[in-house]
Amino acid sequence: MSKMKLRLVMFIAVGIVCIASAPAFAAFYTIGGTDVMMDGYIRQEFSYNYNNESTINMDGLQSAYSILYADVAAEFGRHVEVRGIVRLWADMAYSLNDGDSHWDTYFRGARHELQFLDEFDDIVRELYVTYTAAKFQFRVGRQQIGWGESDGLRLMDVINPLDLRRGPFYDTQGYSEVRIPKWLVKAEYYPDSFGDINNIALQLIWNPGDIQEQQHLQLPLFVDAHLAPDARVMPNTAGPWAVETAVGHDLPFAFTYDRKTDALRNSEFGARLSFGWGDTYLTLNFWHGIAHESLFDFSYIGPHPLGRTIPVAFDAAGNPIAFENMAVHADLVYPRVTYAGVTANREVAFFSQLLGIATNPVFRFEALYSFDQNMNSNKVIVDLNTGMPSDVFEIIETDQIRYMVGFDWPIRVKWLNPKKNIFVSGQFFHFYTVDMPTPDQFGNETDIVPDSSPYHSWTFDRNQTYGSLLLRTEYMNERLVPSVLFVQDMGTGAHWAVTEIGYKIGDHWRPSLRWLYVDGAYQESFGVYRKRDEVTLRIQYQF
Residue 124: C-alpha distances to residues 44, 58, 69, 182, 378 (Å): 20, 30, 10, 11, 40
Q: Decide: 141 and 84 in contact? Cβ < 8 Å.
A: no
- Tell me the Ramachandran region of residue 6: left when phi exceeds 0, alpha when psi lies from -120 to 50, beta otherwise: alpha
Q: How far is the CB of 271 from another protein (least distance, A)?
A: 15
Q: Which is nearer to another protein, 28 or 269 (CB)?
A: 28
**Which of 71, 100, 113, 331: binder of another protein (CB under 8 A)?**
71
Contact string (CB under 8 A) for another protein, positions 385-414, x = contact: -----------------------xxx-x--
> CA-CA-CA-CA torsion for 154, 160, 165, 170, nearest 10 degrees?
-50
Q: Which is nearer to another protein, 51 or 137 (CB)?
A: 137
| By CB under 8 A, residue 256 contacts another protein | no
For 181-209, what is the HEC assignment? Answer: CEEEEEEEECCCCECCEEEEEEEEEEECC
Contact string (CB under 8 A) for another protein, positions 504-523, x = contact: x-xxx-x-------------
**How many residues of this chain interact with another protein, rule: CB under 8 A?**
73
User: CB under 8 A: which stretch of 75-83, 208-216, 229-237, 313-321 binds another protein?
Assistant: 75-83
User: CB under 8 A: which stretch of 113-121, 272-280, 367-375, 455-463 binds another protein?
Assistant: 272-280
Largest CA distance in the chain: 81
**Residue ranges in 181-240 that form contacts with another protein under rule CB under 8 A:** 188, 190, 192-196, 198-201
How far is Cα 347 from Cα 361, in angstroms, rounded to an integer?
6
Q: Which is nearer to another protein, 145 or 367 (CB)?
A: 145
Sign of CA dihedral 127, 133, 138, 143: positive
How far is Cα 270 from Cα 5, in angstroms, rounded to an integer?
49
User: CB under 8 A: which stretch of 237-245, 304-312, 360-368, 528-536 binds another protein?
Assistant: 360-368
Q: Which is nearer to another protein, 170 or 460 (CB)?
A: 170
| By CB under 8 A, residue 130 contacts another protein | yes
Q: Which is nearer to another protein, 218 or 421 (CB)?
A: 421
User: CB under 8 A: which stretch of 43-51, 343-351, 373-381, 382-390 binds another protein?
Assistant: 343-351
User: CB under 8 A: which stretch of 240-248, 265-273, 419-427, 530-538 binds another protein?
Assistant: 419-427
**Which of 4, 27, 80, 484: binder of another protein (CB under 8 A)?**
27
**Which of 61, 64, 151, 270: binder of another protein (CB under 8 A)?**
151
How far is Cα 170 from Cα 91, in angstroms, rounded to an integer?
14
- Beta carbons within 10 angstroms of residue 268's beta carbon: 21
Nearest to 151 by CA among 424, 541, 504, 450: 424
How far is Cα 94 from Cα 97, in angstroms, rounded to an integer?
5
**Which of 132, 218, 267, 457: binder of another protein (CB under 8 A)?**
132
| By CB under 8 A, residue 80 contacts another protein | no
